[in-house]
Each structure stands twice: as C-alpha cells, then as structure tokens.
Structure 1
C-alpha cells in the first residue's frame, strides 16, 4: 500500500510525499532563489508538509494531499490520486463530497515539481495530529543517511527552519527509516503526555 497512516482520529496533520522523477529537469520553484532554475536529476525526492486547518469538522489533510496529486491547466493528475481519494473516504479523513480541485494555481515550492508530468507521487506517509510537527518531521527526514539537500530551505517557504524538499538515495530504505523515526517520536509524545496527565 503506497499510503501509510499514523493515528486514526483528526483530519489534520503532517505528511511526507515520496516522489519519483523520471527525467532530468532544470526547474524554477516560483520565486525561490529569485526564480533561478535548479537542476534535478532523475530519481527520488521527499517532501514534508502539513495541513492543520482550524475547523476540526473540515478535511484539511485530504484536501491538501488531493491538491498535491492534481496538476494545473487540465493536465492529467498523478496516478495515485484516485487511490488517495478512496483511502481518505474509507479512513474518515474525508467525507463523500471530497472532489479534486479545479483550476489549480501554483503556490508552494512543491507545486512546481508536482505539476511536471515527469514527477509522480509514489508513496505517502500521513501523521494525523493537530500538533505542529512539520519542522520536527522535516528535521527527521533531513537527518536520514538516505536523504540529501538539493538547495537549503527549498520547500520551507512558510516555516522558520529546515529544508522540506530533499533528494533521496534509496527510496525503500528511506521510507523504512523515516517511518521508524516517526513511530519512535509518536511513541515518545504519547509517553510524555501520559506522564503529564
């Protein structure tokens, strides 16, 4: 299953996208680095983001992830999108009226990569939590032996630290190591909160 979900309650949270790029690109990420193009080799990439929203009855995670799996100007969506929508509905991350966006505009750094036809989301890790975990989770990703920085601060336009879009040397070991770190961290959080109570 290309979608792993930690937790089962809120519809908010943090996520990691594992992306396969099948062709070398020189890509501009909007205004990042003044619009300078960054060379991206074929291979795997990891992006960490979050969708917290303020209304617990809404579905920020599902909407954000379906948006990521959609492309602008009527281009075909990522192959994983229909599977994502089914998964979200079956796991109470979305209601039956979840629809892909129409008229998507490129906004975040990651949009510029995901809008390219040579990029495909191949795996998603979701952490269902209302806590602001994006910077911590991106630190985990950055600390892995399997990842490397493409450009400092790439993908982290709305956070104060870290790099949220990274290159990946080995996707299988990276996904495994990343999910182990997340599992350990969530266990620590749970133990800490039970001590406080």
Structure 2
C-alpha cells in the first residue's frame, strides 16, 4: 500500500536536538506534525516510526528518539501519488514551519510544523487531506502486523 501520512508528535519539554547532518534545531513544548510518504509500504513506514528501536535515518527519527516525545496520532491516506508536498503546503498556511526539517529531497521549506494545540493540529491534517481529495484515516483503520 502506497500513501501519505502525518505523524502528530507531542513534545513535553522545550529542547535543542542535533538532527543528523542538519545540525541543531530548537523545539518548543507543544505538538508537531511531520508529513511523509511511503511509496512502497505505508503500514511498514508507519510501524517503523512508531517503533522505539530503530536506526536514526530520517530527520523525524531524531525527534522521535528524544525521551520527551511521543506520537499521539497518525493521519494517513492510501494513494499512488506523492502528495506530501501538497499536504505540507496546506499545513504550512496555519502553523509554524520548522525550516529545513524533513524536506531535503524537495523544494518545500519544511515537512515539520509546530502547533500549541493537538486538536487543532489533527484537524488541520485531516482538512489538508480532504483539500487534496484524499480520505483521511487513523491508526484504527490500519493493520500494523
């Protein structure tokens, strides 16, 4: 299954983190939305992000490895096309971008966005999927076996 996903990540503590070769990033306490895609195995990619034992590879892996962060929700849609940049563009209109995060392979300013409120972040993700004619789903609708 191919698709696009948003990880809604709670950061319980203001901090600075080194993110691979990108260097240091400052993260405020609050909620972050990371937008990604999986053009091979969407369930496998999401399962990897939810795992606590993995090699740090993607920018978001460094954020998820911090002891004070956790994924609180996943919004995704199965689709054969890469639409993560369109989703990111929509989300960026209503959030604070983290410049250069998660967007090394495209022209987007960012694929990570800050929100003070979790409910707002989830709603904006779902609205962005709908705006791109995708049906947003959550983890209850995905088998991660």
Q: TM-score range by the shorter chain?
A: 0.7 to 0.9
Q: Secondary structure at the match of 2:71?
A: strand
Q: In 2, distance between residues paired with 1:159 and 1:129?
A: 19
Which of 51, 59, 64 is the matching residue for 1:70?
A: 51
Question: Cα offset for 1:108?
Answer: 0.8
Structure ID, larger Rg: 1
The answer to which structure has the higher strand fraction is 2
The yes-or-no answer on 1:117 pairing with 2:39 is: no
Question: Cα offset for 1:173?
Answer: 2.1
Q: Deviations over 1:129-166 (max 9, x none)?
A: 0111011111111112xx1023x221112223231011
TM-score in terms of structure 1 length: 0.64
Q: For residue 55 of structure 2, what is the aligned residue in structure 1?
A: 105
Q: For residue 142 of structure 2, what is the aligned residue in structure 1?
A: none
Q: What does residue range 44-193 of structure 1 map to in structure 2 within 5 Å?
A: 44-53=31-40, 60-72=41-53, 104-144=54-94, 147-150=95-98, 152-186=99-133
Q: Deviations over 1:38-61 (max 9, x none)?
A: 2212111110000012xxxxxx11
Q: Secondary structure at the match of 2:101?
A: coil
Q: In 2, distance between residues paired with 1:106 and 1:121?
A: 16
Q: Which consecutive residues of structure 2, in runs of 5 or more, have no partner in the other structure? A: 135-145
Question: Are the aligned partners of 2:2 and 2:78 in contact in 1 as well (CA < 8 Å)?
Answer: yes
TM-score in terms of structure 2 length: 0.85
How well do the aligned residues superpose, as a CA RMSD in angstroms?
Answer: 1.4
What is the number of residues matched between the two proteins?
A: 134
Question: Cα offset for 1:180?
Answer: 2.0
Question: Are the aligned partners of 1:70 and 1:115 in contact in 2 as well (CA < 8 Å)?
Answer: no
Q: In 2, distance between residues paired with 1:143 and 1:23?
A: 25
Structure 1 stretches of 4+ with a deviation exceeding 6 A read none
